[in-house]
């Protein structure tokens, strides 16, 4: 399968990428690792006229300790997130979940920023970063701005990024003492598939993969936990407020059942780690 | 567009369409046809090659993205006609049935052993989650990976 014709531009810097995006407007699309966008282009579900390749922007690939948070460049690959010593120590949920994305070949190409900006509700990292209360940094015409991740996802593949705006950094606060228990559970048919349902837990925060058009915080579960409910009792609320889709892999009812089962497992696992 | 890259140690300059996939450049321009196109949807791993020493699925990389980088295919593993330890292990452990997935499996294992020279059996199995063998010949493939590790393939 071959994508429809487009014009390929390689950006040498974030500045140049933004200038190219401004020049080509709505016809252009940023390409990071390409492991979401290229498959869509090969299926001709996406047909941008201009591709702005960001993979040469080494300046946006980093993981640095900022004291209370860790700053991750948007073009940091899943492989590097997975194997980061700093993340393994201070944000093990994120390092572990990055190692569950796709397969080794995909993790050698796919990037954390690409995954977040693509905003597929079936992706792992958007929900994980939601549980971690990350802040996103985007660069646009008016300079850089910070976006709390809770305000970022607007719908299926839809975010608050403006046209041409470039996601540059993800800031992830280190969990406070007492909120260090974590777990990530996902259920797939084959190892490399997207999650049918996934659950990320960090302390009292619980978020869901693929239970609506965006990643979701399981507010009713979090409220029950705050009231002292057991993992099983809290997890009984996991499907409340969700709007899971039915598709070839699962009915809505099955997804709701999975959300409760996986949330029970994740909360139990997190409690054992706290 | 003009693309300069290194394939199996050889510098190649090609004039390709912007939309050309790396696997097509390897097969149709570099004329190296061991790398197979299987699912063409980033699932099966048959088209796995090394990009700067790391495994990637060449059906999901643009030829243009590989410009300036170094590609290794299974044809580039043997040195002076002597098989790479992973290739020899596939031969000795009979790590193949029909052979279609084999080039991708070999390249995935070469990459895996570079990152983790002494994997456990479980690490080999999860490390190969991106490669499918439709003959389901996984047992001998895993044996081959472990045997190659033992020989110090990395």
Helix-strand-coil percent breakdown of chain A, rounded to 5?
35, 25, 40
DSSP per-residue letters across A62-90:
-EEE-SSEEEEETT-BHHHHHT-HHHHHH
Question: Domains plus CATH for chain B?
Answer: 2-76 (3.10.20.30), 85-150 (1.10.150.120)
Distance CA A145, CA A254 (A): 39
Cα–Cα separations (whole angstroms), residue B109 to A110, B35, B63, B93: 20, 15, 23, 14
On whether any CB of chain B is under 8 Å from the CB of A1, the answer is: yes
Domain-by-domain residue ranges, chain A?
7-53, 58-173, 182-273
**pLDDT at residue A142, as a whole number:** 83
SS3 for A197?
strand
Q: The domain A182-273 is classified under which CATH number: 3.40.50.1220, 2.40.50.100, 3.30.590.10, 3.30.390.50?
A: 3.30.390.50
Q: Is B85 helix (H, G, I), strand (E, B) or coil?
A: helix
- Say if residues B18 and B40 touch (Cβ distance below 8 Å): no
Are B26 and B66 spatial neighbours (Cβ–Cβ below 8 Å)? Answer: no
Q: In this structure, which topology does domain A7-53 adopt according to CATH?
A: 3.30.43
End-to-end C-alpha distance for chain B, whole angstroms = 36
Kindly state whether B62 is in contact with chain A, defined as any CB-CB distance less than 8 angstroms: yes
Neighbours of A129 (CB within 10 A): 27
pLDDT, residue A155, reads 96
Given an 8 Å threshold on Cβ–Cβ distance, is B19 in contact with A3?
Answer: yes
The label of the residue with tokens 């070999």 reads B106
CB contact under 8 A, A192 and B60: no
User: How confident is the model over B101-116, as pLDDT tens digits?
Assistant: 999 999 999 999 999 9
Contacts of A31 in chain B (CB under 8 A): 65
How many residues are given for chain B? 154
Closest CB to B62 among A8, A102, A103: A8
SS3 label, residue A215: coil
Name which of B19, B51, B112 is nearest A2 (Cβ-Cβ): B19
pLDDT at B154 over 90: no
**B9-68 pLDDT, tens per residue?**
999 999 999 999 999 999 999 999 999 999 999 999 999 999 999 999 999 999 999 999
pTM, two decimals, is: 0.96
Is the pLDDT confidence value at A192 over 80? no
- Judge whether B60 is closer than 8 Å to chain A, CB to CB: yes
pLDDT class of A191 with cuts at 50, 70, 90: confident
Q: Give the integer Cα–Cα distance in Å for B17 and A142.
A: 35
> What is the fold, at CATH topology level, of the domain defined by A58-173?
3.30.465
Most B-contacting residue of A31, A104, A106, A194 (CB-CB within 10 A), to test interface: A104
Interchain CB contact of B52 with A (< 8 Å):
no
Structure confidence at residue A238 (pLDDT): 98
CB contacts, 8 Å: A42 with chain B: 40-41, 59
- pLDDT tens per residue across span A9-43: 999 999 999 999 999 999 999 999 999 999 999 99
Residue A230, both tokens: 């057991």
């Amino acid at each position: 399968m071959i994508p429809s014709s487009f014009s390929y531009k390689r950006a040498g810097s974030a500045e140049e990428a933004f200038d190219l995006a401004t020049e080509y407007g709505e016809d252009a699309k940023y390409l990071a690792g390409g492991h979401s966008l290229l498959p869509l282009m090969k299926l001709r579900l996406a047909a941008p006229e201009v591709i702005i390749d960001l993979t040469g922007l080494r300046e946006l690939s980093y993981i640095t300790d900022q004291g209370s948070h860790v700053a991750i460049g948007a073009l940091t690959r899943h492989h590097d997130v997975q194997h980061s010593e700093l993340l393994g120590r201070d944000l093990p949920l994120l390092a572990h979940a990055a190692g569950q994305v796709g397969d080794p070949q995909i993790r050698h190409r796919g990037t954390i920023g690409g995954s977040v900006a693509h905003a597929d509700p079936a992706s792992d990292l958007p929900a994980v970063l939601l549980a971690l209360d990350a802040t996103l940094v985007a660069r646009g015409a008016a300079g850089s701005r910070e976006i709390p991740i809770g305000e970022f996802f607007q719908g299926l593949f839809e975010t608050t990024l403006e046209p041409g705006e470039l996601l540059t950094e993800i800031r992830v606060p280190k969990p406070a003492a007492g909120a260090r228990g974590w777990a990530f559970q996902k259920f797939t048919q084959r190892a490399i598939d997207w999650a049918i349902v996934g659950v990320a837990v960090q302390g009292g925060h619980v978020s869901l993969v693929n239970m609506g058009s965006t990643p979701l915080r399981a507010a009713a579960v979090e409220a029950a936990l705050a009231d002292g409910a057991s993992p099983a009792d809290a997890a009984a609320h996991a499907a409340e407020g969700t709007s899971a889709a039915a598709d070839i892999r699962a009915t809505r009812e099955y997804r709701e059942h999975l959300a409760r089962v996986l949330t029970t497992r994740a909360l139990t696992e997190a409690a054992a780690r706290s | 567009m003009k693309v300069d890259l290194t394939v199996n140690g050889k510098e190649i300059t090609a004039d390709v369409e912007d939309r050309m996939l790396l696997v097509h450049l390897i097969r149709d321009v570099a004329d190296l046809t061991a790398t197979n196109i299987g699912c063409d949807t980033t699932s099966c791993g048959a088209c796995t090659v090394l990009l700067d020493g790391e495994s990637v699925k060449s059906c999901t990389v643009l030829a243009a993205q590989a410009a300036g980088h170094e590609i290794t295919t299974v044809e580039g593993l043997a040195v002076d006609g002597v098989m790479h330890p992973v290739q020899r292990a596939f031969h000795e452990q009979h790590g193949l049935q029909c052979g279609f997935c084999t080039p991708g499996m070999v390249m995935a294992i070469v990459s895996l052993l570079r990152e983790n020279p002494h994997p456990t059996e479980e690490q080999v199995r999860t490390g190969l989650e991106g490669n499918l063998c439709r003959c389901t010949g996984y047992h001998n493939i895993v044996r081959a990976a472990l045997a190659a590790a033992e020989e110090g393939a990395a």
